[in-house]
A and B are shown apart, each in its own frame.
Chain A
Amino acid sequence: MSQAQRPGERILVVEPTVATRLPADEPQRIEADAAAVEWRAPGRAVFRDGAGRSIPVLLGTDRLASPGAPRTIEVVAAGWRFELEVEDATRADLRRRAIRDRGSAIDAGGPLEIHAIIPGRVAAVAVAPGDVVAAGQTLLVVEAMKMQNELRTPRDGTVQRVAVGVGETIDLGDLLVVLE
């Protein structure tokens, strides 16, 4: 099976969730070496390592826990079983920035831009400019993969701007709401 490579999706972030004894606090950025992977059948590949040995690799169950969450893939390489969270680099960067923004902005009390961490369609907008919101309150609802996802504010504040409207299609990273 050939792997269609698309720019921007080649680099993925893989973080082991089960590999508890490995230093896995920071997600690892893995550059997929597609040339080293030969697909033999659905879910079955061999990996050619630097020494030219071929190592059997199986892909097991593939779970998408919730829209926007990293997908979890079971991989068995050379008999070792891992459950790996995989997300592409663009999304991982956004997520990391969101966390960082939250961390600094919440404390600093400055303006906070809230970006889309999942693509989808805006199903509802619960706030308007000027509204005072409390941490955890729903700002808007995004429909993705037929599921309604409530987007909540990470801190108290006043809505300065709502950048999207009901029915609008949003992409990963689009600006949604700005809090004062």
Chain B
Amino acid sequence: MKSRRPGASPVAATVSLRKDSPPAVELSGAAPFRRVLVANRGEIALRIIRACHDLGMEAVAVFSDADAGAGHVRAADAAVRLGPAPAAESYLRGDAIIEAALRTGSEAIHPGYGFLAERASFARVVEEAGLAFVGPSSEAIAAVGDKLAARRLARAAGVPVVPGTLEPAAVDRPDALAAILTDADDIGFPLFVKASSGGGGRGMRRVTAREELPAALAAGSAEALAAFGDGAVYLEREVRPARHVEVQLLGDAAGTIVALGERDCSIQRRHQKLVEESPAPGLTATERADLHDLAVRVARAAGLTNAATAEFLFDEDRRFWFLEVNTRLQVEHGVTELTCGIDLVREQLLIAAGRPLSEASLASAVRAATPGLHAIEVRLSAEDPARSFGPVAGRIGRWSMPAGPGVRVDTAIEAGDRIPPDYDSLIAKLMVVDVDRDAAIRRLGRVLDEVEVTGIQTTLPFHRFLAGHSTFRAAQLSTDWVADEWEPAMEAERAAALAIASSVAAAAAAGGTIPGDTIGAAPPRIAPPPALESGWLRAGREADIDRWPPR
């Protein structure tokens, strides 16, 4: 699947363009770094490796024992083993990652999303090691990583924040309870108790009535303390029904900040996004411009550079409420790339090397309020949509992804790959782009018909249902969509598919032979490239042996 570039140094390899030493002369077209370590796995690691190769740079992968032969390792120029499968012993080991970067002569570390991407402490040690951290500065990450701090900062910048408190609730002082209850009455019920250091819904409690609040505060705080080492919680009004919209931001070291359009990520389950699109449907150009302006104001107040995303809720009265800032490349960055024609990872790498924002991104930002294309992404995950999207581990049998005009698929999976239970269940991001939303949805339908995955259950049935559903087509989006539309229909959808599956199985068996899989579907592999770590080579070969035959 990969084309090997010569091992010789690429162009301008000797020119080291560090963030702390901007070039005296603009070296247009020259690689920003000679070699970049990608501190992630799966599709995002592969996507970053490709951006490095596009810029004529080498990419170093890291891997855990579960990923020794994985797609991102196969694509990299070199790979370094981090440790055993659990993330805490591999992809979360900042010390091992920095050591790997220094040992391989990497000049920058791209953290991707998840794992260490938003840890200010990691960004700081990367900076202190003399490496470029491809993302906002550690100060900016710290400034908005605390959600309460981000709320205060946004409010000071004149950006409406979701109504609620701006200081931690004094959960440990019984005498302060009266004041908290007064705050709660002012905010109104239902409301959320949220963790200041929160993420992924942890430390979060929904409170529908006054008398539930003390218990929710205690439970939320205890959960936050256990998960993040910080028990600070605050109150926030529940905005519902609401749409989730977010603005893609890019900023350079000179302080230029632009918004590259927004994404609607309303279709979620358990606060995890399932579908994203850009632009957010139904916004007027004025609303869009206002939203982008709010996001840029937050970014400027926080001193954000590189790539970040400001998240907002959009309520029924067409008001935007600031939610939080993500100081990383988002999973769903691809839909923005498809609509605005910018390679965000390339921009990130150039900015990390001290370059100014590209002319293309400046020009694109000017057009961001009047987008001319529409892109949709669905996240294909190894999950059972009939069992509350519970994760499914296993081995992929057949694997064929859609292609053709207006289609982009980001994945690192190949036929025969095992889905390790240790990490995120995302296996592929299917993206479509077309002239408008209706055309994009039609294209999405075609793309979903082309997906071929056997061996594990995926979220494909949900995406097919969504793409054909009248409320999605009518852009009636809401964070309650899964509960309102999918859950009531799910059993009937599955039963209908079972009837079809039974009929096809019967027809196949009736023919005497079953025109099924030739079991060895995985193609034989070419030996992996020479690695800096001999252990990687061995592990990779073992993984290939393990994969052949697949069952």
Contacts and interface: CB of A to CB of B under 8 A. Distances in A.
Contact of B505 (A14, A21, A31): A14
A71 B504 contact: no
Given A4-B511, A42-B518, A59-B516, A82 B451 contact: no
Contacts of A34: 507, 510
B504 A75 contact: yes
A139 interface: no
Interface string A4-29: 11100111101010010110000010
Contacts of B454: 58, 60-61, 74, 76, 81
Interface in A48-71: 49, 54-62, 71
A59 B515 contact: yes
B interface, over-half SS:
helix
A75 B506 CA distance: 11
A88 B509 contact: yes
A81 B458 CA distance: 8
A22 B492 CA distance: 10
B452 interface: yes
B341 interface: no
B449 A56 contact: yes
A81 to B, nearest CB: 5
A80 B517 contact: no
B102 interface: no
Nearest to A82: B501
Given A43-B516, A71-B509, A76-B454, A59 B504 contact: yes
A73 B462 CA distance: 23
Question: What class of interface size applies to chain B in its complex with A?
Answer: 35 or more
A142 interface: no
B514 interface: yes
A37 B451 CA distance: 18
A76 to B, nearest CB: 6
Contacts of B510: 3, 5-6, 9-10, 12, 32, 34, 88
B512 interface: yes
Interface in A72-107: 73-82, 84, 86, 88
Interface residues of A, number: 52
A36 B464 contact: no
B517 A30 contact: no
B176 to A, nearest CB: 48
A23 to B, nearest CB: 10
B453 interface: yes
Contacts of B516: 42-43, 59-62, 73-74
A180 to B, nearest CB: 38
A61 B386 CA distance: 22
A102 to B, nearest CB: 26
A43 B456 contact: no
A60 B454 CA distance: 6
A84 to B, nearest CB: 5
Contacts of B493: 78, 80
Contact of B494 (A36, A44, A80): A80
A43 B464 contact: no
Nearest to B451: A79
B10 interface: no
Nearest to A49: B500
Contacts of B508: 3, 37, 45, 59, 73
Going nearest first, the 6 A-B pairs with the smallest beta carbon separation are A79-B460, A60-B454, A32-B506, A80-B497, A3-B511, A77-B501
16 contacts: A6-B510, A9-B510, A36-B503, A43-B517, A47-B500, A54-B449, A62-B516, A62-B517, A75-B502, A75-B505, A76-B454, A79-B463, A79-B464, A80-B498, A84-B501, A88-B509
Given A34-B510, A56-B452, A84-B502, 11 more contacts: A5-B511, A16-B502, A21-B386, A32-B509, A59-B516, A75-B505, A79-B459, A80-B457, A80-B494, A80-B501, A81-B454
Interface of A: 1, 3-6, 9-12, 14, 16, 19, 21-22, 28, 30-34, 36-37, 39, 42-45, 47, 49, 54-62, 71, 73-82, 84, 86, 88
